[in-house]
DNA sequence: GTCATTATAGAACGATCATACTAAAACGCA
DNA sequence: TGCGTTTTAGTATGATCGTTCTATAATGAC
């Protein structure tokens, strides 16, 4: 009934992700987006709204295409393999990105931080999904004896999340395989059960007080 | 011989630090700086050069006033106390900052990342100083038996650095005491020597292979 | 007191920002 | 073949950006 779109929305959003991912929200201009997407400013505004809503769509697409699949890829793995796989994945992606863009979610979190009420729920919620993934790994790992029970599962999961964030920051400054692998190796060593811990599931849980 | 300055350079730089720390480089306008410092744009340019060199001075002042003293405060502490003190310090500062500005160095690192050749050396060098502090703590801790020798000191130091960065990011998103303390507690638990490790210095170093 | 020098104040600069407007163009349906 | 609707293309708009200019004010040296 009306004139049809001449562009592929997904391709345009991918181009927008590339722009925002590389330069952030503020430093990406509408002209940049016009140049990278190939369509005009009028079409951009007509199809996606203003710059903020386009950023939101781009960030959601980044999450749906990058973080979501990665979580799904390791959610059924053995606990230690899940954590290791997730972080090795991140390290590999960080190392083979010549632009060193890091993680768009971390970048957005620091650019908007607390002040932006519109993006906060999406950012916090996504980090919450990642934390939940780590928490699930740790709970299963503590249950099957592969991970240490000397700390609360919640603390260990937060530790994983913090190391993940740290890796994403460190990777932008020192994108060297030895550096990032060293960090991940130390995290995994911190998670594994110590030799003196029993390997028989929950049986020996009562032998230590709760701290 | 000429008209004297009417302002205190240090006070002006402190105001510039406050602006850049809170909003970053791009999102801070010269007009913001004019408003916060109280002097005119002409005086700003005359005294400090353009926006980039003012940012550099502000970042150097932040490092000299924030990070440097913190490193000095804990460099002579017992190894574990040094790491714990440094991170507890960071957590405390993060929690009592209502603006949640995080760390200006981390913010700058992510805003400029790899692309900016002018700020890279300062950013990388400062993180290098922090890493060297952690490495010194770990080496001493491994030497006196208080820290684990199951990993290379370099990897443990990098782990500390990554957790520090992660805490700085996490604190901007979830500035809750329990969250940040949990992360630090897990880091410290990862550093301490395990019960089966000898406490007699370097004596038992030969009993394990190098991995 | 005059001069050279530097600091101030405030307006002005061109560039670029996000966004809106005006027309023309391209379709489905009558 | 028109009509209604939406997408295009290009330009315009007002705001704000970093920076500079002009003029005036304040000092030490002579």
Contact B139, B64 (CB under 8 A): no
**For residue A15, what are the contacts with CB-CB under 8 A and spacing of at least 6?**
A33, A36, A37, A38
Alpha carbon distance B23, B70 (integer Å):
23
Average pLDDT over residues A168-184: 97
CB contact under 8 A, B189 and A150: yes
Calpha distance B52→B62 (Å, rounded): 15
Distance B65 CA to D24 C1' (A): 38
Mean pLDDT to the nearest integer, A164-172? 97
Q: Would an 8 Å CB–CB cutoff place B127 in contact with chain A?
A: yes
What pLDDT was estimated at residue A198?
58
Candidates B159, B157, B84; CA nearest to A190 is B159
Nearest-CA distance A1 → chain B (Å)? 44
Query: What DSSP line would sit under A55-104, residue for residue?
Result: HHHHHHHHIIIIIHHHHHHHTTS-HHHHHHHHHHHHHHHHHT-TT----H
- Identify whether the C-beta of residue A90 lies closer than 8 Å to the C-beta of residue A164: yes
For each of chain B's 211 residues, which pLDDT tens digit applies?
Answer: 676 777 899 999 999 999 999 999 999 999 999 999 999 999 999 999 999 999 999 999 999 999 999 999 999 999 999 999 999 999 999 999 999 999 999 999 999 866 788 999 999 999 999 999 999 999 999 999 999 999 999 999 999 999 999 999 999 999 999 999 999 999 999 999 987 775 554 444 444 444 4
pLDDT tens-digit map of A113-154: 667 889 999 999 999 999 999 999 999 999 999 999 999 999
Best probe of the A interface among B173, B177, B193, by most A CBs < 10 A, is B173
Q: What pLDDT does B199 receive?
A: 52
| Superfamily of B59-203 according to CATH | Tetracycline Repressor, domain 2 (1.10.357.10)
CB contact under 8 A, A161 and B182: no
Half-sphere exposure in the Cβ direction for B183 (13 Å, CA): 33
Closest Cβ opposite residue B155 in set A158, A173, A182: A182
pLDDT of residue B208: 41
- Sort out which chain A residues have CB atoms less than 8 A from B154's CB and list them: 182
- Subunit contact B169:A100, Cβ cutoff 8 A: no
CA distance A160 to A71: 14
Site from B129, B162, B184 to mutate, A interface, most A CB atoms within 10 angstroms: B162
Q: Which pLDDT score, from 0 to 100, does residue A98 have?
A: 94
User: Do the Cβ atoms of A190 and B190 come closer than 8 Å?
Assistant: yes
Alpha-carbon separation of residue B42 from B1, B25, B39 (angstroms): 20, 19, 8
- Residue ranges per domain, chain B? 59-203
Q: Which two tokens stand for residue B11?
A: 């006070």
Per-residue burial over A7-34, b = 16 or more CB atoms within 10 Å of its CB, e = otherwise? eeeeebbbbbbbbbbbbbbebbeeebbe
CA distance A156 to chain B (A): 6
CA geometry: angle at B89 spanning B135 and A209, to 5°? 85
Taking CB atoms within 8 Å and a gap of at least 24, the contacts of A3-9 are A5/A47, A6/A39, A7/A37, A7/A38, A7/A39, A7/A43, A9/A47
Query: Among B56, B55, B45, B57, which Cα is nearest to B19's?
Result: B55
Choose among B123, B168, B170: nearest Cβ to A173.
B123
**CB-defined contacts A:B, below 8 A:** 148
Superfamily of domain A61-195: Tetracycline Repressor, domain 2 (1.10.357.10)
Q: Buried b / exposed e across B19-57, counting CB within 10 Å, b at 16+?
A: bbbbbbbebbeeebbeebbebeeebbeebbeebeebbbb
Pairwise CA distance, residues A52 & A54, whole Å: 5
């Amino acid at each position: 009934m009306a004139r049809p779109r001449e562009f592929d929305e997904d391709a345009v959003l991918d181009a927008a992700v590339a722009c925002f991912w590389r330069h952030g929200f503020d430093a990406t201009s509408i002209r940049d987006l016009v140049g990278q997407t190939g369509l005009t400013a009028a079409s951009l505004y007509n199809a996606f709204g203003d710059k903020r809503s386009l950023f939101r769509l781009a960030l959601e697409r980044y999450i749906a295409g990058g973080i979501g699949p990665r979580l799904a890829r390791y959610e059924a793995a053995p606990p230690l393999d899940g954590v290791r796989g997730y972080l090795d994945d991140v390290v590999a992606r960080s190392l083979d990105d010549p632009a060193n863009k890091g993680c768009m979610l971390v970048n957005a979190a620091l650019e908007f931080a607390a002040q932006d009420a519109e993006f906060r729920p999406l950012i916090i919620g996504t980090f919450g999904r990642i934390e939940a993934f780590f928490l699930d790994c740790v709970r299963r790992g503590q249950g099957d004896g592969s991970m240490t029970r000397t700390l609360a599962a919640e603390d260990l999961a937060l530790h994983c999340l913090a190391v993940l964030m740290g890796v994403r920051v460190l990777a932008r400054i020192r994108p060297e395989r030895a550096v990032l692998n060293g960090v991940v190796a130390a995290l995994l060593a911190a998670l594994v059960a110590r030799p003196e811990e029993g390997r028989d599931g929950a049986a020996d849980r009562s032998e230590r007080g709760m701290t």
